[in-house]
Homo-oligomer: A and B are copies of this chain.
């Protein structure tokens, strides 16, 4: 690996990894990618080597500027502070608050309740191996968050989640919508979310970073 190049530990389908891939693409940051398969071999994130790197056993993790950062929003905020162009947070503190509020709503209020590891635990605790139980759980977590988000976007959105510039909130929105689609969520109640998502998916950075375009994307899922 070339010295000094950031290294991203990523899984093609991880929505948190996708957030960071979009940020890297938008800011034009060249990086190496190390795929971590969250399913194969019982989950490569549980390997000794990976645990030494990230004790939370999660992706994404970014090695950059001599440090190792976990947690997608912490990574994006660091990129924003050290590589500010193009900006992913508006200049106005009130608009920045809206961006962070929407990002946290998704990152703390939706994603953790419907990710792979929690659904496994839901299956265990319910002693119910039917995929439907997990699907319903995931759908409830997402619709509960999207009901709130759709309403919040009425007062913050322009072309994108907050005004007319792409922000960190958009980097959280698109991967969460992809999860919702995978879990067969009905989008009828979410016209604003759908419309913003469609606009964002037309942008090159969102396409290059898309789960169907990654080095570790299985052939059958490639676009």
Contacts and interface: CB of A to CB of B under 8 A. Distances in A.
B111 A93 contact: no
A96 B148 CA distance: 30
A101 B74 contact: yes
Contact of A105 (B65, B71, B97, B125): B71
A77 B97 contact: yes
Contacts of A145: 56
Given A71-B104, A105-B71, A152 B97 contact: no
A107 B108 contact: yes
Taking residues whose C-beta sits less than 8 angstroms from the other chain, chain A's interface range is 35 or more
Could you say which of A96, A100, A111 has the most chain B C-beta atoms within 10 Å of its C-beta?
A: A100
Contacts of A128: 125
Nearest to A155: B68
A15 B215 CA distance: 40
A181 interface: no
Contact of A125 (B75, B82, B96, B122): B122
The 10 lowest CB-CB distance pairs between A and B, nearest first, are A55-B148, A74-B100, A71-B104, A74-B101, A78-B97, A55-B151, A56-B148, A108-B108, A81-B93, A112-B112
